[in-house]
Amino acid sequence: MRLVEETPFRFRIDRHGDMRVPGVVFASRELLPPAGDGSLEQVANVAALPGIVGASYAMPDVHWGYGFPIGGVAATDARRGGVVSPGGVGFDISCGVRLLAADLDRRDFQRVREELMDQLGRAVPRGPGRGAVWDLPRREDLERLLRDGSRHAVDRGYGVPRDLDRCEDFGAVPDAEPEQVGERARERGLGQIGSLGSGNHFLEVQAVEQVHDARAAEEFGLHPDQVCVMVHCGSRGLGHQICTDHVRAMDRTMADRGITVPDRQLACAPVDSPEGRAYLGAMAAAANYARANRQVLGWAAGAALRRVTGRGLDLVYDISHNLAKLEEHEVGGQRRLLCVHRKGATRALPPGHPDLPRDLDAAGQPVLIPGSMGTASYVLTGVAGGDAFHSTCHGAGRRQSRHQAVRSVDAKVLRRDLERSGVAVRGGSARGLAEEAPTAYKDVDAVVAVAEGAGLCRRVARLVPLGVVKG
């Protein structure tokens, strides 16, 4: 794949083959995907989607995914033949990050470290199957949760109303259609609200090591040495099943609509078609499930902290990085309604954006970037004029597959090294730990530096891990 270096942090893939727009890759030379990774070919494939505008974008944490690369952003014109593709969202719909701040500092944590980590380990269900903080007693609860997201969880006592002001979409995507969620997806969702799942999901106790923007950090409620809790998870089996169901439905209709794509994993349908509207409604319901899942997990973490220290947690923000959203953006000098796919990419709204809560108007939207296990995480904020439809990276990004990581990492040595470096580890199988070793990921500091250098976001604070509960 031929790349043209436009700036030190921006590379271009010129149109060729079926590409309707160019590809744009935000990276340094060191962070460019290696030969054989396949993600740059996926950037070019996405550029062939009907109705795509601007460019097919890749964030600095880009790596190979299903159809779209992980770290891919693409927008299609919702009123001029643009399509929606489940591959541009991913199987873990609305996977995202929640950050909560404690009234504790690092010294406080060290005094209660073992007791608190044990409490968190017991309080947080994890693994691939059933198990939840809130085992929904009635299908009516699931229906309300799919429609109202975190709002329903708060109504049931899992949090406080102020939490909703610090959630993307104020806790719920408004156009959810639970009736588009199939029976198998509902069955999978009943027993998983308030659970981490597996893979790269985690609950991590962290400390604010460095503040880069004191004013924004103060607006977000962060200060040096403060203890925080970060939760990374999504819509569990319910979201996975919704993606599976709707990819199959779209795959069956593409030929009849005259749609061809370079990769069948890019199965899609026009945004305004019955199949497109059905997917968007089901996807929004899964997004609401994911928001409620993180809401309940944050409540459980706060309850554990109160049992040990008498102090709770305040929500900084909750943001997704696997979603397609209908948004208005300027394209070619005109405001147009776009379906913006962000897969492994985070929305980064600038100061003054109308979708922000009033108390964040001056600072911009908090952007939460989890690192790999044992490495730093970041809080960023959106910037005026941000590229890629106000999007930025979502994490460090894998550089090794899970199979490669397992072959190259001794889980016992990894656990020992983490403990020696001051990171208490709870849960997670030996294989699961090896799959998520820091060596399997890119350098999150380098990824964030490129994202900031490319003008996608601005650093606010750097956080380091103190303890992790693994999925």
Measured N-to-C along each axis, helices 139-148 and 183-190 cross at an angle, to the nearest 10 degrees, of 100
Task: Quickly list DSSP for 130-185.
Answer: ---SS--SSHHHHHHHHHHTHHHHHHTTSS-THHHHTBGGGGS-TT--GGGS-HHH
Tell the burial category of 289 from Cβ atoms under 10 Å away from its Cβ (0-12, 13-18, 19+). Answer: buried
Distance from C-alpha of 150 to C-alpha of 146, rounded to nearest angstrom: 9
Number of C-beta neighbours around residue 140 at 10 A: 9
16 given a catalytic annotation: no
Vertex 457: Cα angle to 222 and 79 (nearest 5): 125
Catalytic residue chosen out of the listed positions 321, 341, 390, 394: 394
* Residue with tokens 């744009």, as numbered in its chain: 24
First to last CA, the chain: 36
* Residue with tokens 């026009």, as numbered in its chain: 270
Contact status, residue 290 vs residue 320, Cβ threshold 8 Å: yes
Element (H, E) at 218: helix 214-220
Quick one: which of 110, 318, 319 has its CA closest to 205? 110
The residues that are catalytic are 394
